[in-house]
Amino acid sequence: MTAIKYNGLSPGPDGRPHKMQPRWRQDFPIDTPQDNYIARRDFTKFMILTSGAFVVGQLWIALHNHFRKRRGKPPEKAIAAVQDVAVGGAMGFRYPDRQLCMLIRPDQDIFLAYGNKCTHLHCPVRPMFSENKLQCPCHNGYFDLQTGRPLAGPPRLPLPRISLEIRGDVLYATGVELRT
Amino acid sequence: MIRTNFGAGSRPLPRRRRTTIVYGILCFVLTLVIVQLWLLTATMSAYLGGDDSVIWPAAFASLVCLGLNLGLLRYLIALERG
Number of separate helices (H) and strands (E) present in chain A: 2, 10
Closest residue, chain A, to B76 (C-alpha): A41
Average pLDDT on B22-38 reads: 96
Distance (Å) of CA A87 to CA A82, A83, A93, B24, B35: 10, 9, 17, 66, 50
Predicted confidence band of residue B74 (pLDDT cuts 50, 70, 90): very high
Q: How far apart are CA A125 and CA A116, in angstroms?
A: 6
| CB spacing of B16 vs A1 below 8 angstroms | yes
Average pLDDT on A162-180 reads: 92
| CB spacing of A44 vs B25 below 8 angstroms | yes
What is the three-class DSSP state of A171?
strand
Interior angle at CA A175, CA A131 and CA B40, nearest 5: 85
pLDDT higher for A119 or B81? A119
A99-119 pLDDT, tens digit per residue, is: 899 999 999 999 999 999 999
Predicted confidence band of residue B81 (pLDDT cuts 50, 70, 90): confident
Query: Pairing between strand A141-144 and B11-13?
Result: unpaired
Burial class (CB in 10 A: 0-12, 13-18, 19+), A136: buried
B42-63 pLDDT, tens digit per residue, is: 999 999 888 899 999 999 999 9
Predicted confidence band of residue A26 (pLDDT cuts 50, 70, 90): confident
Nearest-CA distance from B38 to chain A in Å? Answer: 10
Give me the percent of chain B exceeding a pLDDT of 90.
Answer: 65
Residues of A with CB under 8 A from a CB of B: 1, 3, 33-34, 36-37, 40-41, 43-45, 47-48, 50-52, 54-55, 57-59, 61-62, 64-65, 68-69, 119, 157, 177-180
Please report which helix (H) or strand (E) contains residue A9, including its range.
none
| CB spacing of A58 vs B63 below 8 angstroms | yes
Please tell me the number of Cα atoms within 13 Å of A74 on its side-chain side. 19
